[in-house]
Structure 1
């Protein structure tokens, strides 16, 4: 991946968007998709939508990802100026200590570090992971008053990491969950619109997925499309420490993942697999017996039920600062989503045969 498409992804990864604080990232996403859209709009909580208007009496297909990421928040400030922490979403206590962080304040970024007692001073027999609520950020000040001049309770915090290219066309970064999903939705939208399809196509970047699929519930009710493909990361288990009891056979580089069961509408599963075969796109299958854990779960229970499909992007080390994806999977997913959007009328109406 290179050129404008890679620059767009890097821009998304460089902007901090913890749940509830997605505005700057949503703005960058809109700047990209509005080049190809007939209209863009944003709702009261920041869900962003681009619209391509197709012909009358044709299906409206939505391509969605979530624009937020996990993070931390200033919960309190102690008398010595150390910042106490709360989670935003599923932040992992095993990877937060000893990390550089940025506190995002109304007056700009404040640098800090999450403290970790030196190995020389720790009792090896008591080497357990400390809960995030018991961890703290050191911003270098001497007391509470000095800290309160710089930060407020409720300021969001993100870990500072680099975007690192690895061998094999892979990249490591914080927040690939789910910047790669909104990149894929935007790029699939561009590819679909270039063909001037008969269908109406939406591209959506939702907010607050990491804290309960909130944005998808809002925007799904508002748009009420005929079908939604929600694109999010899924666990690649091709790594040495993946537990065998939770192994899924999902591999980096083997293509996007089509989920089956629960939220995933049979007609959309059929469409995804058929288009993949027609277009020679490698896909992987994933069992989803109870829930997908993605925005698809919110979309398909909105209104009277919106036919939905979860397409996964294989990701190693999810919810850590070193998530890893392969560019080829993103490119294939964009082709697959574009194909579903363009050919949606072939599979409509999206109903279950009984």
Structure 2
């Protein structure tokens, strides 16, 4: 990955974007895609759409900008913040973590308190729910804390990016700014190929709280096909059981993007993407999705009476923790695959099944 693309990825990963509070991250995304898009537009909730115009079918490549987090639910008399979830935050990894409260006057640092091991009895080892945990910002009392934060301020794990060995990165909020990076990069590469298709890159909001942004964009955009790019579980780490590994045995970190089959995943789009991967010699993995994908594809495919859709997965270890891990080779391969798909789709007349 060249330095400019890497810096854009790092900017996305270090710009907190919890569901309902995506504006800073969306601004960074819009600034980047504006360099090569014919047009960039946003809606009232902050969904962002960039387009490179063509004469062929309209294709949309979408990732979601939001991440899980917490929210200030109240302040107690001693100045500690009571919190609640934003999205699927995991109570097993939250305690003892550094966090940032994104307050109106700037960032307020804090920590989620954890009772010292010396003071815990065996019966204290039961994990507390998020609403029973607290953030310590160093305030001495309620008045002092309320001068710094308000109820409703979002909280995220301190944003960091750790470069692991080789091409692997770790950090919080990788789900799913890597998807928005792929969407933007696929658009840039499709423009370089001078693809005949009209290609949209989309960065949606509020996926983690019910696919809400995709519902808005799916209705408004009405493309011929959508590929929702999101993380999926890499199953190649020691914390996976043998049964889990067997179920998703093909999903390995660094093994290439993951093409889902079944449920929302339209068979014609699946076939076209797999064919593009074969012809361009891009490795892909397959994943069964018999009921739902759990991604924006589930919202896109029913929009406007039915939009051919596909969930393209990016292998991710330790999802919804502060130490998610991805391989940048998978991100590069996904962007290249979507650009190739766009270049090959210019003369298509849609993706309807043949009945």
Please give the TM-score of this superposition, normalised by the length of structure 1: 0.98
Q: Distance in 2 between matches of 1:92 and 1:323?
A: 13
> Could you tell me which residue of structure 2 aligns to residue 158 of structure 1?
156
> Could you tell me which residue of structure 2 aligns to residue 285 of structure 1?
286
**1:1-354 equivalence runs, <5 A:** 1-55=1-55, 58-247=56-245, 248-249=248-249, 250-354=251-355
Q: Distance in 1 between matches of 2:338 and 2:349?
A: 16
Matched-pair contact (CA < 8 Å) for 1:80–1:142: yes
Q: Deviations over 1:181-204 (max 9, x none)?
A: 000000010000111121111000
Q: Distance in 2 between matches of 1:106 and 1:192?
A: 39
**Which of 238-247 and 206-215 deviates more?**
238-247
Q: Distance in 2 between matches of 1:173 and 1:20?
A: 21
Q: Distance in 2 between matches of 1:346 and 1:271?
A: 13
Q: Distance in 2 between matches of 1:257 and 1:346?
A: 25
Please give the TM-score of this superposition, normalised by the length of structure 2: 0.97
Q: Distance in 2 between matches of 1:293 and 1:303?
A: 20
Matched-pair contact (CA < 8 Å) for 1:256–1:313: yes
Q: Kindly report structure 1 stretches of 4+ aligned residues shifted beyond 4 Å.
A: none
- Secondary structure at the aligned position of 1:263 is classed as coil
1:148 Cα shift? 0.8
- Secondary structure at the aligned position of 1:120 is classed as helix
Q: How many residues align?
A: 352
1:243 Cα shift? 2.9
Q: Distance in 2 between matches of 1:334 and 1:65?
A: 12
Q: Distance in 2 between matches of 1:191 and 1:348?
A: 22
Q: Report the aligned-residue RMSD.
A: 1.0
**Which of 204-213 and 162-171 deviates more?**
162-171
Q: Distance in 2 between matches of 1:288 and 1:120?
A: 46
Matched-pair contact (CA < 8 Å) for 1:267–1:347: no
Q: Distance in 1 between matches of 2:144 and 2:344?
A: 60
1:161 Cα shift? 4.4
Matched-pair contact (CA < 8 Å) for 1:76–1:85: yes
Q: Deviations over 1:224-260 (max 9, x none)?
A: 0000000000000101111333331210111000000
- Secondary structure at the aligned position of 1:154 is classed as coil
Q: Distance in 2 between matches of 1:112 and 1:330?
A: 32
Q: Deviations over 1:123-164 (max 9, x none)?
A: 123301110010000111111111111100000000114211
Q: Distance in 1 between matches of 2:244 and 2:289?
A: 13
Structure 2: which 5+ runs fail to align?
none
